[in-house]
């Protein structure tokens, strides 16, 4: 679209969410209906946020123009904004307490919920919850002052305004309210939860309540998964006027975590909850940090003295591996965040000598080339997948054997096409089958990410039903992805015996070739975000910066047949 003539400019450049919405809301509050507002922002998430907020509030979202990195958003005002200034007539807890010691006639109106009132209240106070006040206002007399209390002063601010608007002449808001009445402060805390700490809660199957303040579409597409997690999704811009309406939807017996895309909005909402007397934490770094966190899990000690580690990327369902032996290490299917691999090798006194990818990845950017560049390791790739590579690599073909360290652990290549034409599996120490994206614990790989589902479905069936069928059933399968958090074992690993998968995995038990073909070509989820650009990046044809790489990878992996 082209730029539109506008009546008002809102400058939100350099500001992270929620500030573009905050500034826009303020600008639209009092302007006339039909006027055009241009909001200038640099936060890439502002497009979806402003569009969704406009739809929620009745303003018209007209579109966005990207002008050399500045996003120019256009909205038409509905003219329905209203003044939400704080109620001006205030008093303190101490002043109210002094008045209660006199003979002065007054009403103390407690607008907290009944449970809060029953737990502790000012003797003689009248209980009318804020949500009931409009219908129960007639219970209050206007012949004496009304002092309104809540937990912190926010609900009482709105209640005082409502009473004043309806003709009550002498109304006073009491701050900070019951949270500090008689110095009995409620122990309410605000804290940050790191991605590592959240990972431990997922692995330990802890109870957690997540308030996700991203847009509905973002939440439906991808969220923090946990076996015993509960969720409530309310976009942060629906909470800009306060969190009072959401308090009754939050549990009192579970830890509360507020989550957004990058952290900013979750901090704002968590702070508002604390002001209302609710302990809350926010996810440090938001969903971006969650998407990038790698949890190293030791799979086993290998029989010749080495160790095998799995790196679990809980936020995206990706799995990668390191084989350590003596002073050498091999990395397989590395994520682009390479520091965890470098650190584990360094902590074990090892040098990474070889880096391998099972196939050309389409859901995430491989860190293989970067590890090889930093360590001098040899980088191995299936040549059939990467014929157009813009860099040099070692061809990884069936029968390739790579020795690791003093214990001489052998990493053997096994050609297993189907997910891609070059897909290659590895057998380590004659005990572990690294299946790449061919076989998962709960599903099988999809053959369509290069647009050749019909061509490759036969290869996929042959790899699974012929090549894998001939392998020892005691091999432990270690895939490159997991689909649902239920696939995690108690230690956080994702692994299962090949024989068990041939018994329980539906993708390995479709007798009819016609039914198999139909299943893997028609029962496919949406393709991964930006998968074509990810493929081009992994071939060395694109060189996106770090922010662009993050945006390309946002969302689940979607590499499996559902």
What token pair was written down for 447?
């053959």
What token pair was written down for 363?
């859901």
Query: From residue 77, how far is each of 27, 33, 47, 204 by CA, in Å?
Result: 10, 5, 17, 49
**CA–CA gap between residue 214 and residue 266 (Å, rounded):** 9
For the chain, the C-alpha Rg in angstroms (whole number) is: 29
3-state secondary structure 366-409: CCHHHHHHHHCCEEEECCCCCCCCCCCCEECCCCCEEEECCCCE
Q: Is the four-CA dihedral 159, 161, 166, 172 of positive or negative sign? A: positive
What token pair was written down for 269?
């909402």
The Cα angle at residue 307 between residues 305 and 308, in degrees rounded to 5: 145
Q: Tell me whether the omega of the peptide bond preceding residue 176 falls within 30 degrees of 0, making it cis.
A: yes
User: Is position 260 annotated as part of the catalytic site?
Assistant: yes
Residues whose CB is less than 8 angstroms from the CB of residue 443 and which lie 6 or more positions away in sequence, other chains included = 483, 505, 506, 507, 560, 561, 562
Q: How many CB atoms lie within 10 A of CB 114?
A: 12
**CA–CA gap between residue 402 and residue 385 (Å, rounded):** 20
**CA–CA gap between residue 260 and residue 223 (Å, rounded):** 10
Overall size of the chain counted in residues: 562
Query: From residue 90, how far is each of 131, 147, 148, 177 by CA, in Å?
Result: 21, 9, 10, 11
If you count DSSP H runs as helices and E runs as strands, how many of each does the chain have, helices first? 17, 27
Angle between helix 339-347 and helix 368-375 axes, rounded to 10 deg: 40
Q: Is the four-CA dihedral 561, 483, 500, 361 of positive or negative sign? A: positive
**CA–CA gap between residue 108 and residue 159 (Å, rounded):** 12
What token pair was written down for 558?
């979607």
C-alpha 532: how far from chain center: 22
Residues whose CB is less than 8 angstroms from the CB of residue 348 and which lie 6 or more positions away in sequence, other chains included = 307, 324, 329
Question: 231-245: buried (b, 16+ CB within 10 Å) or exposed (e) per residue?
Answer: eebbbbbebbebbbe
SS3 label, residue 502: helix
Residues 358/363/369/375 CA torsion (nearest 10 deg): -80
CB 167 within 8 A of CB 137: no
Query: Could you say which of 17, 260, 318, 559 is catalytic?
Result: 260
Enter the DSSP assignment of 362: S
CB 72 within 8 A of CB 38: yes
Residues annotated as catalytic (active site), given as ranges: 260
């Amino acid at each position: 679209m082209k730029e539109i003539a506008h009546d008002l400019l809102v400058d939100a450049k350099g500001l992270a969410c929620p500030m573009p919405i905050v500034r826009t809301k303020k600008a639209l509050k009092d302007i006339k209906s039909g006027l055009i507002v241009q909001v200038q922002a640099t936060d890439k998430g502002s497009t979806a946020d402003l569009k969704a907020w406009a739809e929620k509030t009745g303003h018209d979202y007209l579109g966005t123009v990207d002008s050399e990195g500045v996003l120019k958003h256009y909205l038409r005002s509905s003219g329905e904004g209203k003044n939400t200034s704080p109620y001006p007539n205030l008093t303190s807890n101490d002043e109210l307490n002094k008045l209660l010691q006199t003979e002065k006639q007054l009403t103390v109106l407690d607008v907290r919920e009944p449970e809060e009132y029953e737990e502790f209240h000012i003797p003689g106070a009248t209980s009318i919850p804020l949500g009931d006040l409009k219908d129960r206002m007639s219970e209050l007399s206007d012949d004496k002052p009304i002092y309104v209390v809540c937990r912190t002063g926010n609900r009482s601010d709105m209640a005082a305004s409502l009473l004043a608007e309806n003709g009550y002449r002498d109304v006073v808001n009491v701050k900070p309210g019951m949270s500090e009445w008689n110095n009995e402060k409620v122990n309410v805390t605000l804290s940050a939860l790191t991605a590592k700490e959240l990972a431990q809660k997922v692995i330990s199957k802890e109870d957690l309540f997540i308030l996700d303040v991203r847009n509905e579409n973002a939440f439906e597409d991808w969220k923090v998964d946990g076996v015993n997690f509960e969720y409530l999704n309310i976009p942060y811009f629906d909470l800009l006027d306060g969190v009072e309406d959401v308090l009754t939807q939050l549990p009192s017996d579970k830890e509360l975590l507020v989550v957004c895309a990058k952290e900013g909005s979750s901090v704002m909402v968590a702070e508002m909850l604390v002001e209302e007397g609710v302990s809350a934490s926010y996810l440090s770094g938001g969903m971006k940090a969650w998407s990038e966190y790698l949890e190293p899990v030791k799979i086993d000690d290998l029989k010749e003295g080495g160790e095998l580690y799995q790196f679990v990327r809980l936020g995206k369902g990706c799995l990668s591996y390191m084989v350590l032996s003596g002073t050498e290490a091999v990395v397989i299917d590395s994520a682009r965040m390479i520091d965890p691999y470098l650190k584990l090798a360094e902590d074990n006194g090892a040098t990474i000598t070889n880096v391998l990818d099972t196939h050309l990845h389409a859901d995430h950017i491989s860190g293989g080339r970067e590890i090889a560049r930093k360590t001098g390791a040899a980088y191995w790739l299936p040549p059939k997948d990467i014929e157009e590579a813009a860099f040099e690599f070692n061809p990884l073909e069936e029968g390739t054997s790579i020795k690791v360290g003093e214990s001489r652990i052998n990493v053997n290549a096994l050609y297993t096409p189907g997910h891609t034409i070059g897909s290659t599996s590895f057998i380590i120490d004659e005990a572990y089958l690294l299946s790449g994206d061919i076989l998962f614990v709960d599903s099988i790989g999809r053959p369509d990410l290069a647009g050749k589902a019909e061509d490759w479905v036969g290869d996929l069936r042959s790899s699974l039903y012929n090549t894998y069928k001939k392998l020892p059933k005691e091999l432990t399968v270690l895939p490159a992805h997991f689909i649902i958090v239920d696939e995690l074992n108690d230690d956080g690993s994702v692994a299962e015996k090949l024989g068990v998968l041939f018994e329980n995995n539906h993708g390995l038990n479709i007798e009819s070739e016609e039914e198999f073909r139909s299943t893997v070509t028609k029962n496919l989820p949406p393709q991964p975000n930006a998968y074509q650009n990810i493929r081009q990046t992994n071939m060395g044809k694109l060189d996106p910066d770090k922010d662009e790489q993050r945006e390309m990878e946002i969302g689940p992996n979607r590499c499996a047949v559902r």
